[in-house]
Amino acid sequence: MKKVKQAIADELLPWFSQNKRSMPWRSNRTPYRVWISELMLQQTRVDQATPYFQRFMKRFPSLKSLAAASQEEVLKQWEGLGYYSRARNLHKAAQIVAAEHKGRFPDTAEGLIQLPGIGNYTAAAIGSLAFNLDLAVLDGNVIRVLARLFAYTRDSRSSTAKAELQRYADDLLVKGDAGNFNEAMMELGATVCLPRNPQCAQCPLSRVCLGHESGRPTDYPVKAPKKKVPHIVVGAAVVTNAKGQVLVAQRRAEDMLGGLWEFPGGKQEPGETIQQCIERELKEELGIHAKTGSFLVTVKHAYSHFTMDMHTYFATIESGRPRPLHCQDFRWMAIPELRMLPYSKADLKIIEELETRCES
């Protein structure tokens, strides 16, 4: 441990100073900007998060502007990033900080963790980068670096391993320079200590790395095999009216993708055709009796815990008026207006298909 800690001070921090990538959140660093960037970077690559961060900062340049916005506005800016609970939580947290902390972020780990959506990792990131608190972060990149440095053999996804690796990070932390230490460790994992093709010849810590010494650095971190994710089949409807408008429904706040808008439908049950599935779902969700028509598109999409085929058909109402029975709200909208609302990536693909047909 002592040799590794010395190498971090002598080799890693100077390497980071010379090689760190230019990122928009590294300039004009404030607690607010650090918080937004760290939430966006969870489950999202830097190149994907960068344009979202820039657009988000333009629309919500301050915590006050974010707190004053509607959840729908926030979700629209987050549209396409996925893991939408992050957006809902940051909106709630902004409102709490504005109302209960006079617009100033708590400057302790304990205070930060009290805010919605902020766990140990995000608290350590904000605390170290914005307030120079001596807190070590542990994300996927840092786990990989630590597991290789110490040839760590436990399953890195287990709670036991994460707790132990957190202690390693805490022990290695450069006191008084936690922000640079954390960013250097994450940068090393993101650009050099890569999952499948580590660039050991370029690594400033290779001389103290047991994984490198073993000749098999990609054996670490050890991960138990992932369970096979289930596959579901979904039916969705583009319900139209005489005005050429389309019916969209808003997901309930407590549901997956809560607050987003969608083309109504749901999971196919055993023994149903897709058309029967769609007609049943429209009755259950909106209280309407509808008839499916022509096929529009099949959207294939993968979430973290399941994959999905969503078969989409046009439909018309035969009887009944829409009511929000199993949805939060509904709207009739012209096709050019649809993008005013926030949707999941899967539903955005349906909109793209509708727009293409309109153009042709």
Residues forming the annotated binding site for Mg(2+)? 265, 285
Identify residue 171 by its one-letter amino acid code.
D
Token pair 């139209």: residue: 240
CA 31 – CA 33 distance, rounded (Å)? 6
CA separation for the pair 5, 11 (Å, rounded): 10
Catalytic residue among 38, 79, 183, 279: 38
- Angle among Cα 20, 113, 342 to the nearest 5 degrees reads 75
Strands 246-250 and 329-333: antiparallel
Q: Which residues are annotated as a binding site?
A: 251, 262-265, 285
Q: Is 38 a catalytic residue?
A: yes
Distance CA 277, CA 285 (A): 12
Contact, 91 vs 60, CB < 8 A?
A: no
From CA 80, how far away is CA 257, in angstroms rounded?
12
Smallest CA-to-CA distance from 90 within 161, 9, 14, 32 is with 32
Residues of the binding site for 8-oxo-dGTP: 251, 262-265
Q: Find all residues with CB under 8 Å of 91, minimum gap 6, and list them.
A: 66, 67, 69, 71, 74
Six token digits for residue 305: 């815990």
Give the three-class secondary structure for 316: strand
User: Which residues carry out catalysis?
Assistant: 38
